[in-house]
Structure formats: C-alpha cells, structure tokens
Amino acid sequence: MTTTPTHPDAPVPTVRPADPARRTGAPRRADVLAHLRAAAAALALGLAVGVATSFLQTWLPAPFTALANGVAPWLVAPFVVGLRLARGWWSAPLLGVLACVAQVAGYYLTSDLRGFAVGSAFVVVWTVAGVVGGAAFGAAGLLHRAAQGRLVGLGAATVGAVWGAEALVTFTIVLGYHREAVVHAAVGLALLLLLAGSRRQIRPALAWLVPILALGALPFLWMQATLGGGLTG
C-alpha cells in the first residue's frame, strides 16, 4: 500500500481543544447573568410591593383596605416572577421566595421608618410564611405558563382560590368584614379570568377552582389560630 507524501509547505491543521463549558457542563456566563438579572428583578419587585403596602394601609379607604391587609395580595408578586422570569422548575420557587421575603423586608423597614411599631415575632412568622408561600406561588406561576394535560388551568385557579379563601375565612368568618370580603373575592375572580383567558384555560381553571379553594382555606384557618388578630395586621 502506498501513501501520498505531505508537501513540506502544506499548512498543518489546528486541533482546537473542546469548549470547557461543554466538557464539564458548567453553566455559561450568559446563563449565570440571566439568573442574576431574574433574582435582582424578583428582589426589586418584592421590595417595591412591601414599601407600597406600608403606605397603602394608611391611604386606601374602606372597603379597599383589605388589598393592603391581606395575604393574597402578597402572593401575586411570586406568581408573576415565576410566570415571567423563571427559567426552570428549580428557579421558579427560588425566585418566588426572594420576592416574598423582599416584601416582608420592604414592608417592615418602611413601617419602622414611618414610626410604626414592628414586632420581631411577626417579622419571623411572616418571613417563614413568605418562604412557603413564595415557593408555592413561584411554582404556580411557571405552571401557568408550562402546564400540560390535566394540570392546565391549575396555576390560574391557584391565584383565584387564594383570594377566595382569604375572603371566606379571614374577612367573612373571622372578621365579619363583608364588604372587604366582596372586594377580595372580586379581585380573585378577575385575576382567574384574566390569567385563564389569556391562555384559553377558563374551563379547566374553573374546574380546578373548587378543590383548590377548599384546600386553600386550610392555611388561613391555621394562620388565624396561630396569629390571631395579627393575621391582617
């Protein structure tokens, strides 16, 4: 067998090393920056909502005061960051937690600067609640965007259900604030229809609403038993 001799002046092909990011599976710089931007946006949104809540509690007239004295309004921000910013199922709960914890920080720091008493016990309780609620609603936001099959409509129903559950348990049964309960329930229904309608999920969302509403009432009953009068304060 004969071989073709290589010309001495022929260029020698260059063998490039493999991309370290591809070889090791390390995240690319662009992905890291995208995650950092999402985290910064979640923190900024949470802080803004927390600061606004402190002022709205003294500015809103009845029966709209419930919009700044409830749990459900603070679960909208983690849902939004999960819906708009999350890049995967692991990031959605984390972004939701960041948004909720930032709300707690923004609210209590602003209230303290405004001269209102801040109890450390409530800060701890609401921070823990923010971790749980933020993770759940961050995931619900992503679920609304990515759900398939039987889970379609569950994300929108979760938002509507938490407003409805708070209207029923906290504002109707516990406090007897019926006008505030109507406002809360109306906002919850509007959000459900808006979210579900934007993705043509109204029918499955309404089907999910009743069981999720029943399940959502349990945390409010537990929080009322734990916090008592501080539930909406």
- Other C-beta atoms closer than 10 Å to the C-beta of 119 total 11
Structure tokens at 162: 């938490």
Distance CA 188, CA 182 (A): 10
Count how many Cα atoms sit within 13 Å of the Cα of residue 135 in the half-sphere of its side chain: 6
- The answer to whether residue 23 scores a pLDDT higher than 60 is no
Which amino acid makes up residue 203?
Answer: R
Torsion on CA atoms 197, 202, 205, 207, rounded to nearest 10: 170
Q: How far apart are CA 215 and CA 27, in angstroms?
A: 38
Q: What pLDDT does residue 139 have? A: 98
| 179 Cβ contact list (under 8 Å, min separation 6) | 62, 63
Give tens-digit pLDDT for 104-159: 999 999 999 999 999 898 899 899 999 999 999 999 999 999 999 999 999 999 99
Cα-Cα-Cα-Cα dihedral of 214, 218, 223, 229, to 10°? Answer: 50
199 vs 153: CA distance, rounded Å: 9
- pTM of the entire predicted model: 0.84
Cα–Cα dist 138/94, whole Å: 7
Please measure the distance between the N-terminal and C-terminal CA atoms of the chain and give it in whole angstroms: 91
pLDDT digits (tens, 9 = 90+) for 162-178: 999 999 999 999 999 99
| Cβ count near 174 (within 10 Å) | 16
**Residue 67 pLDDT level (bands cut at 50, 70, 90):** very high
Nearest to 105 by CA among 53, 35, 159: 53
Q: What is the widest separation between alpha-carbon atoms in the chain? A: 98
pLDDT of residue 28: 82
